């Protein structure tokens, strides 16, 4: 296959605005005072497997990391050593994100991935006033396709995640969330109308599964992009999801024609460069293309791993993270731990996790079985260090998912302190009670 060289303007503008978004995202943490509660106050962190060495560091390191992200975002936007800037952003952003499971967010994962792609991609061919030695303004079209693949993967996986009875047959959790806005002028009446959540749910499903393809087809691109803008503006207005709508809207511009920024008035760059055969300096090697495709394929497979364990993924959450299951559940949990010495006359204690964990950690752990397990192990170690022997740790945990009444989450008879479940083992998690699909009646009293 012959490598095609296309205008680097689209990729350049994406890189520029991505840098701005990274800077804004980091600045929000500094301005909103989130760094202390999320990174400095925790006395225990829920580490990812193999990453328990990764800490946030002392305050000057933590604040410095966010300040550096603000600066680096600006430098990336201005095109200063874009690969180096992107690499530093990738490292620092990923560091922040991987410190604690309680801080997991789908869109932070996407930001890390996009930063990673920008380490490799030649994104300094346009909109890079500080770039040095810019020899060419074209890029191999394969870079755009790989990035489109990354963004398309997010949409399709998010769409597949919506193929769930709660979403399709009960319109949950949209029903709950839209209901909180039913006092809005005009739209409030729409949100109150019984079919509306279902219309939103099904439209969201169709949108996620189709929008990457509609963006690719020239005939439907404009309509799809307009719909995408409306969709993400609506999610930004309705839900507290930070920079996610803006990241996704920006990422969708990669699906537009490579020279689309040059068609805008007043940008100040010269006309479209058209397409040509990629010169040697621009060309992406076949092995690199294959590696890129393999990485995307691996992500696609990894995102579906949650379907392997038996039971409802939204309940047991085995394989939930890094799988692009966006906005598909409203879940609240409540947990208390019972620590005891398993011998006659042994000591016992009931542990309220709020004594040690931050409110965010408590809230996240209470609804996520693997975090309950992590904390149970920690409690065992903590009590053993305090001289307790034959320590058992059990959890009294409840969760409410998508408007269901609370139900027990983790088996209260299992000693979690020493449990080492396999990836597919969810026997220590109680099954989600059967959900009755019925028309909600008796509204109001």
Per the CB < 8 A criterion, the answer to whether 68 and 88 are in contact is: yes
359 binds another protein (CB under 8 A): yes
220 binds another protein (CB under 8 A): yes
332 binds another protein (CB under 8 A): yes
Q: Left (φ > 0), alpha (ψ -120 to 50) or beta: where does 6 sit? A: beta
What would the x/- binding string for another protein be over residues 41 to 70, using CB under 8 A? Answer: ------------------------------
356 binds another protein (CB under 8 A): no
Name the residue nearer to another protein (CB basis): 261 or 417: 417
Name the residue nearer to another protein (CB basis): 11 or 22: 22
Q: Shortest distance, CB of residue 75 to another protein, whole angstroms?
A: 24
Q: Which of 43, 135, 219, 270 binds another protein (CB under 8 A)?
A: 219
The separation between the first and the last C-alpha atoms of the chain, rounded to the nearest angstrom, is 68
Q: Which of 307, 348, 424, 437 binds another protein (CB under 8 A)?
A: 348
Structure tokens at 211: 């929008």
384 binds another protein (CB under 8 A): no
Distance between CA atoms of residues 29 and 38, nearest Å:
10
Q: Which of 380, 404, 426, 428 binds another protein (CB under 8 A)?
A: 404
Task: Select from 71, 68, 104 the least CA-distant residue to 363.
Answer: 104
Task: Select from 426, 165, 163, 424 the least CA-distant residue to 308.
Answer: 424
Name the residue nearer to another protein (CB basis): 5 or 366: 366
CA atoms within 13 A on the CB side of 404: 23
Q: Which of 105, 119, 209, 216 binds another protein (CB under 8 A)?
A: 105
Per the CB < 8 A criterion, the answer to whether 404 and 431 are in contact is: no
Angle at the Cα of 213 from the Cα atoms of 208 and 217, rounded to 5 degrees: 145
Structure tokens at 360: 């965010």
Site for another protein in 65-104 (CB under 8 A): 103
Q: Shortest distance, CB of residue 362 to another protein, whole angstroms?
A: 8
Count Cβ neighbours within 10 Å for each residue of 259-287 and write b for 16 or more, e otherwise: bbbbeeeeeebeebbeeeebeeebbbeee
Site for another protein in 239-278 (CB under 8 A): 239-244
Q: Shortest distance, CB of residue 439 to another protein, whole angstroms?
A: 10
Name the residue nearer to another protein (CB basis): 83 or 321: 321
Q: Shortest distance, CB of residue 42 to another protein, whole angstroms?
A: 12
392 binds another protein (CB under 8 A): yes
């Amino acid at each position: 296959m012959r490598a095609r060289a296309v205008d680097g303007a689209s990729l350049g503008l994406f890189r520029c605005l991505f840098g701005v978004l990274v800077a804004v995202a980091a600045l929000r943490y500094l301005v909103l005072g989130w760094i202390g509660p999320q990174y400095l106050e925790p006395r225990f962190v829920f580490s990812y497997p193999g990453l328990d060495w990764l800490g946030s560091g002392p305050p000057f390191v933590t604040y410095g990391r966010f300040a550096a992200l603000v600066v680096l975002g600006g430098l990336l936007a201005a095109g200063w050593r874009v690969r180096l800037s992107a690499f530093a952003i990738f490292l620092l952003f990923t560091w922040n994100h991987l410190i604690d499971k309680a801080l997991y967010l789908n869109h932070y994962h996407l930001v890390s991935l996009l930063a990673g792609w920008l380490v490799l991609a030649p994104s300094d061919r346009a909109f890079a006033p500080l770039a040095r030695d810019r020899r060419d303004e074209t890029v191999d079209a394969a870079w755009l396709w790989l990035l489109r693949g990354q963004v398309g993967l997010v949409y399709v996986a998010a769409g597949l995640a919506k193929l769930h009875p709660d979403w399709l047959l009960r319109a949950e959790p949209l029903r709950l969330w839209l209901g909180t806005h039913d006092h809005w002028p005009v739209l409030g009446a729409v949100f109150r109308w019984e079919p509306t959540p279902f219309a939103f749910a099904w439209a969201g499903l169709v949108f996620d599964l189709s929008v990457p393809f509609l963006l690719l087809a020239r005939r439907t691109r404009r309509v799809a992009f307009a719909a995408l803008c409306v969709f993400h503006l609506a999610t930004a207005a309705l839900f507290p999801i930070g920079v996610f709508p803006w990241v996704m809207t920006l990422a969708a511009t990669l699906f537009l024609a490579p020279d689309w920024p040059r068609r805008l008035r007043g940008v100040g760059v010269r006309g479209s460069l058209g397409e040509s055969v990629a010169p040697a300096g621009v060309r992406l090697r076949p092995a690199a293309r294959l590696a890129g495709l393999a990485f995307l394929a691996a992500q696609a497979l990894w995102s579906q791993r949650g379907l392997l364990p038996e039971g409802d993924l939204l309940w047991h959450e085995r394989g939930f993270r890094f799988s692009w299951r966006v906005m598909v559940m409203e879940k609240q949990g409540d947990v208390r731990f019972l620590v005891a010495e398993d011998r006659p006359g042994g000591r016992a204690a009931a542990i309220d996790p709020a004594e040690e964990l931050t409110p965010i950690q408590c809230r996240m752990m209470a609804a996520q079985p693997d975090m309950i397990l992590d904390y149970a192990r920690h409690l065992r170690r903590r009590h053993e260090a305090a001289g307790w022997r034959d320590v058992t740790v059990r959890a009294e945990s409840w969760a409410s998912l998508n408007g269901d009444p609370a139900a027990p989450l983790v088996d209260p008879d299992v000693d979690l302190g020493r449990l080492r479940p396999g990836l597919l083992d969810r026997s220590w998690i109680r099954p989600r009670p059967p959900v009755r699909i019925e028309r909600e009646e008796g509204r109001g009293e």
